[in-house]
Amino acid sequence: MNFIKIIAIVIILMLFFIESQAQKMELSDQNIIKTRVFNQPADSLWWRWTTHYGLKTFFGRDNKIELFPGGSFEIYFMMDKPYGLRGSETCKILSFLPEEFVSFSWNAPPQFPEIRNTDYKTWVVIEFRKLSEMKTEIKITHTGWPKDEKWLPVYDYFDKAWDSVLDNLSVHDLKLKAEERSERKVTGIGGIFFKCKDPDKLKEWYKQNLGLNTDNYGTSFEWRQGDDPAKYGFTQWSPFKESTKYFEPSTREFMINYRVENLEKLVDQLKKDGVTVTDEIESYDYGKFVHIMDIEGNKIELWEPVDAEYDKIAEGRTK
């Protein structure tokens, strides 16, 4: 914790100590402390805690936030109630240091009218600790609790409520993981390509002996898509001449085509991860294609298919 941060927090504590003394409130040594690590960058979490749209992603139905000392930090949970009974009306920003901490006053919820109507407010400090580019620790400290048994139900309420807030914040982690899986996702085998001495004779052999319905390119295995059985999917089987250069720079006798989603984002990420991309994305009516190399020198074809268009051109089909 740097010097500026320490001074800012000390000032907050001093202000509340003076206020509590003025109101003849004796403070307890109780604190609610919650800590959790998120798979999100610090700047993203800062945005979520300190902006109108960011807060709406996980905390309340609406809000009024003004990021300056003395500015509003009002989170509204019950929009059907009149102003004053919606949430944290009249709560204020106390201090902040961008992407390190933000503190604000915090009142009792409307279901505790006796406490809420005293106008005394506890305060909350949200700390952000960057662990890596995509990992941040959030620490919530809710303090300033009066030494008064009437406040115990409010303390217990927020001891559980802050867990729920962090749970809501972590939902974004799951969405990010889902998006990452989607951007990297291989959805199936799009094709099996291999070298042979005489592709035409081999296709005929497979046609006569194994029943493949072949055309000039091999055959397209037709199947139904699991998430929508009304839609077709295709896997191409194609023999190539031994002299083909299509598999280069690989020296292997085969190449596998993988069906993928969101090819452009996938390629961007593969490049960032140091994967060798051998060419540029090419687009056709029936999909987008690009080629990469795996760590053992196998050339891989990636295909983001447009199955409805491929359905129009696939002649040799095996069902």
Q: Which of 54, 39, 209, 58 lies closest to 133 in space, CA to CA? A: 39
Say what the pTM is: 0.54
Query: What's the burial of 310, exposed, middle or buried (CB within 10 Å: 0-12/13-18/19+)?
Result: buried
> 3-181: what CATH class?
alpha beta
Q: Which residues contact 220 (CB under 8 A, 6 or more apart)?
A: 234, 235, 236, 237, 310, 314, 316, 317, 318
pLDDT of residue 17: 47
From 3.50.50.60, 3.10.180.10, 3.40.50.2300, 2.60.40.10, which CATH number describes the 186-318 domain? Answer: 3.10.180.10
Distances (CA, A) of 62 to 19, 27, 49, 76: 29, 31, 13, 5
pLDDT number for residue 243: 95
Give the model confidence (pLDDT) of 81-131 as tens digits.
999 999 999 999 999 999 999 999 999 999 999 999 987 899 999 999 999
Quick one: how far is CA 298 from the chain centroid?
31
| Polymer length of the chain | 319
For the chain, the structural domain boundaries read 3-181, 186-318
Give me the pLDDT at residue 228, please. Answer: 64
Is residue 77 within 8 A of residue 63, CB to CB? The reply is no
Mean pLDDT, the chain cut into blocks of 10 residues (319 residues total): 56 54 71 94 90 90 94 95 94 93 95 91 95 92 94 97 94 61 76 97 96 94 78 92 95 96 88 90 95 94 93 88
Q: What is the pLDDT of residue 107?
A: 95
* Amino acid found at 260: V
- Are the folds of 3-181 and 186-318 the same? no
Q: How far apart are CA 184 and CA 260, in angstroms?
A: 8
Q: DSSP letters of the chain?
A: --HHHHHHHHHHHHHHHHHHHHTTPPBPS--EEEEEEESS-HHHHHHHHHSHHHHHTTS-SEEEE--STT-BEEEES-TTSPTTSSBSTT-BEEEEETTTEEEEEEPPPTT-HHHHTT---EEEEEEEEEEETTEEEEEEEEE--BS-GGGHHHHHHHHHHHHHHHHHHHHHHHHHHHHHHHHH-EEEEEEEEEEES-HHHHHHHHHHHH----BTTBEEEEEEETTEEEEEEEEEEEEEETT--TTTT--SSEEEEEEES-HHHHHHHHHHTT-EE-S--EEETTEEEEEEE-TTS-EEEEEEE-HHHHHHH--SEE-
Q: How far is CA 287 from the centre of its chain?
A: 27
Prior bond of 199 cis (ω within 30°): no
pLDDT at 95: 92
Q: Are 145 and 122 in contact (CB under 8 A)?
A: yes
CA-wise closest residue to 129 among 215, 5, 305, 229: 5
| Rounded Cα–Cα distance for residues 41 and 136 (Å) | 6
